[in-house]
Amino acid sequence: MSWPLFFSQVFNGLTLGALLVLVAMGLTIIFGALGVVNFAHGALYAVGAYAGLVAYERTSSFLAAMAAGAGFLLILGVVIERGLIRLYYRRPHEDQILVTFGLGIILVEAIRAMFGGLARDIPAPSWAAGIVNLHVTLYPTYRIDVLAIVATALVLLYFILYRTRIGLIVRAGIEDQLMVNILGINVTRTFLTVFGLGAMAAGFAGVINAPIVTVTPDMGGDILVQSFVVIVIGGVGSFWGAVVGGLIAGELLSLAAMIAPAYSEVVLFAAMAVVLILRPQGLFGVEGRQ
Amino acid sequence: MKAQRSKNSFSRRRVLQAAAAAAGTLPFVHAPQIFAAEESIGNWPAGAQGPTVFVGVTTPLTGPYSADGIDHLKGYQLAIEHLNNGEGLVPEVPSLKGKKGVLGKKIVYKNADTQTQPNPAIQAQTDYITQDKAIMITGALNSAVAIAIEKLAQRYKVLNMVGCSGANETTGVDCQKFAFRSQPSAYMAAKALTPVLGKVIGRNKKAIYLVPDYAYGHSVEHSTGEFTEQELGWKSLGSQVCPLGTKDYSSYLLNIANSGADVFVNVAFGADAVASCKQAKQFGVLDKMKMVVPNISAFQGKELGPEIMGGVYGTMDFWWTLAESNRLAKIFVDTFHEKFNYRPSWPAHIAYTQMMVWADAVTRAGSFDPVKVIAELEAGHKLQMPLGEVWYRKEDHQQVRAVPVVVGKTKAQMRNDEDFFEIVGMTPGPDVMPPDFLGCKLPSSV
């Protein structure tokens, strides 16, 4: 093992982790506030990437792609919540898993029917194209810029959740939904907002990931599993849990790949198992919350 | 009570013994009749008694190999249409000339999505065998699936024309009496590719591998490593083994970028090949080292473009520009293009020619009886196909066929929007066949 490679992998773990945080954030907000395990999250991420692709192909602007991915998914999230998810709030988790899983399959196959199965590409924007010499290694400029993009998105989300009235209601809902109801707050509108925000985060993450991975209908499958691992490690429903869990997962994947590439994913799941044994509620989770 | 039970069991045993004794004498009593009629095996003759015969097809329509899988399926659709109507290559195959259907029977088929995984493939093919009485099963785009189907075919004694599979095991240690493969094995591809690599990249180079973690990946790494080390003095700096379907290759690519290798051998396939090549470019790996793709995926040129694939060497089962030098290839490419509006890729070629080779063997055998069809395929009868002359080896059921070695064209070299590769050589089949059958030991009879 060489030090330059070690530092490169630590840095790579950070950017890999940042991308995981972005995807996991939507998942954890929806579960935390609504109690819905959203298995369609990976599909929403893919839909976001394709919405971005369509916008990019029309305008050649990456900013337009980001806006389209986030905007379209906000609308789609609202439609899905009103048309489907709200019917499942009082149903058992198994039903929620089945219905969101099914929704995910429908969305992915709809993409395949509309766009075909061939990999598509949203290139990195011109201001983030190329390679930077970090002295320890060469690194794609876009991946470094992703750190700034994700940080900005998280600050924005943090502001919405922790500095606005609607955020206060969402967080109160995460802590004690019944009490929020009793206080006479319009929970329906809040739930709608939360699901819309969660879907928007997924769509935004899809566009941000598109220049790195390739845009394919099943691009969300793998990332859904990793996001679940992230929120289990970090603690379900916790903002900081998703951030720390994502960064831990990114570092584990990168550093394990340096030592034993074939086992890097195994290490991730092993870490999740260890957390589940020692601290079942996750690093930032609250014990005993339903 | 105890005595009674013991008496009962005794008498039951006697009854069983008597029944067994009676059953034991049956074959002798009826022996002349049984040997007079032909023995049934698998779905024969039950599956060949009506006006149609059923072929079970499995291709991935979802998952990382779905793009290749859809092309594969189109090859089957075209071949079955041509066989049923006596069109396409049918008039060019002596035994099939002027005929419609196979032995006068129309081929019907069903296709199931394997999701690029063995389990759904096995479930679907089991249904096709047990419920639809499939007389032949075919189609795969991944060696894990192909090998699982081979074993299923062997268990049910139904013929299997293997679809796309590049692992050595398919006609090596996992070879089956009922299965025949046309795609070059990793061994054949590596042996065909190595002299070209020697010429364009040189001797005594250091190579690093990106390897998907299943039979195909390990086979290709092993065979490519073996030939380049023995014949060119290359040194392997190890391999980056990653799970099938990986989306982000950054940590593997950092290891590769920092390895000090001269050559990056990318074994990833399908959507994985596209993602890993694209990311390799982003990490500067392609500027630092020469990329080699031992087995290029069907749409790798189209999905990555000449900016990444230009100058990349590899092999392919088939590339459509063969139509410019081979009349049969031209018939295949033109009829496919007419029906599907693009030029066929190699998974379609495998599907199409496997169906033709099977129909020819059945027709020459004069029966769908798998025992006779296997004997016919094993006889090594040479057939003209789009690659030139092809035939099967009796010892391992690997098709002896030319292996096209290709190089990616640059943007300036492309004559049309599908002209991604140039064929730099057609290595003759007999030159690349593994002499030791790679561990395959087939029984002499079924």
pLDDT tens sequence across B265-308: 999 998 899 999 999 999 999 999 999 999 999 999 999 999 99
Give the closest of B240, B258, B284 to A5, CB-based.
B258
β pairing state of B399-400 and B52-59: unpaired
User: pLDDT band at residue B4, thresholds of 50, 70 and 90?
Assistant: very low
Query: Residues of B numbered 192-251 whose beta carbons fall under 8 angstroms of chain A's beta carbons: which are they?
Result: 213, 239-243, 245-248, 250-251
Rounded CA-CA distance A191/A189 in Å is: 5
Distance (Å, whole) CA B397 – CA B333: 26
Residues facing B422 on adjacent strands: B407
Burial (CB < 10 A; 0-12, 13-18, 19+), residue A282, is buried
Do A139 and B283 touch, CB atoms closer than 8 A? Answer: yes
At residue B267, the pLDDT reads 96
Interface test with chain B among A214, A258, A265, by most B beta carbons within 10 Å: A214
Give the integer Cα–Cα distance in Å for B28 and A265: 61
DSSP element (H, E) containing B234: none
Q: Choose from B208, B254, B286, B299 for mutation: most chain A CBs within 10 A.
A: B254
Report the chain B residue with the minimal C-alpha distance to residue A251.
B251
Amino acid letter at B105?
Answer: K
Integer angstrom CA distances of residue B394 from B149, B175, B178: 20, 11, 12
**How does pLDDT run across B80-124, given as a tens digit for each residue?**
999 999 999 999 999 999 999 999 999 999 999 998 889 999 999
Cα–Cα distances (Å) from B252 to A137, B258, B294, in that order, read: 13, 10, 19
DSSP letter, residue B304: H
Distance CA B410, CA B418 (A): 12
8 Å CB contact between B377 and B365: no
Between the alpha carbon of residue B186 and those of residues B71, B197, B353, the distances in Å are: 21, 16, 20
Low-confidence ranges of chain A (pLDDT < 70): 1, 174, 287-290
CA torsion B309-B312-B315-B316 (nearest 10°) is 10
CA distance B143 to B149: 10
Using 50, 70 and 90 to split pLDDT, how confident is the model at B244? confident
Using alpha carbons only, how large is chain A's radius of gyration in Å? Answer: 19
Task: Evaluate the omega torsion of the peptide bond into residue A4 and state whether it is cis, within 30 degrees of 0.
Answer: no
Selected residue with higher pLDDT from B61 and A50? A50
Tell me the C-alpha distance between B369 and B38, whole Å: 9
Residue A257: partners with Cβ closer than 8 Å, 6 or more residues away: A9, A264, B240, B251, B252, B255
Closest by CA to A243, choosing from A138, A116, A155, is A155
Comparing C-alpha atoms, which of A237, A218, A155, A188 is closest to residue A87? A188
Q: Does the distance separating the beta carbons of B258 and A8 come in below 8 Å?
A: yes
**pLDDT given for residue A136 in this prediction:** 82
Is the pLDDT at B163 greater than 90? The verdict is: yes
Tell me the DSSP string of B42-69.
Answer: TTBTGGGSSSEEEEEEEE-SSSTTHHHH
Nearest residue, CB atoms, B247 vs list A116, A137, A223? A223
- Is pLDDT above 70 for B2? no
Nearest CA in chain A to B210: A261
The backbone torsions φ and ψ at residue B206, rounded to the nearest 5 degrees and listed phi first, read -100, 130
Residue A133 host element (H or E)? strand A131-133
- For residue B212, pLDDT over 50 is answered with yes
Q: Which of B61, B271, B284 sits opposite A138 (nearest CB)?
A: B284
| Residue B232 contacts residue B225 (beta carbons within 8 Å) | no
For A258, name the nearest residue in chain B, comparing CA atoms only.
Answer: B255
Rounded CA-CA distance B304/B307 in Å is 7
Distance, C-alpha A203 to centroid of its chain? 9
In chain A, which residues have their Cβ closer than 8 Å to the Cβ of B284? 131, 138, 140
Lowest-pLDDT range, B3-17, B36-50, B362-376? B3-17
- The number of C-beta contacts closer than 8 angstroms across A and B is 109
Quick one: residue B157, left, alpha or beta (phi over 0 = left, psi -120 to 50 = alpha)? left
- Distance from the Cα of A93 to chain B's closest Cα (Å) equals 27
B57-76 residues touching A, CB cutoff 8 A = 61-64, 66-67, 69-70
Least confident of A250-259, B374-383, B386-395, B402-411: A250-259
List the alpha helices (DSSP H) in A128-184. 141-163, 165-175, 177-182
ipTM: 0.87
What integer best gives the mean pLDDT of chain B? Answer: 91
Confidence bin at B37 (pLDDT 50/70/90): low
Q: What is the mean pLDDT of residues B151-174?
A: 97
Closest-CA distance of chain A to residue B176, Å: 30
Residues B344 and B336: their CA atoms lie apart, in Å, by: 6
Burial class (CB in 10 A: 0-12, 13-18, 19+), B182: buried
Alpha-carbon span A152 to B353, nearest angstrom: 55
The per-residue b/e assignment along B77-110, b for 16 or more CB within 10 angstroms, e otherwise, is bbbbebbbeeebbbebbebbeebebbeebebebe
In whole angstroms, give the CA distance from residue B335 to residue B341.
10
Among A138, A214, A253, beta carbon nearest to B257: A138
Residues found in chain A? 290
**Of residues A229, A236, A234, the one with CA closest to residue A174:** A236
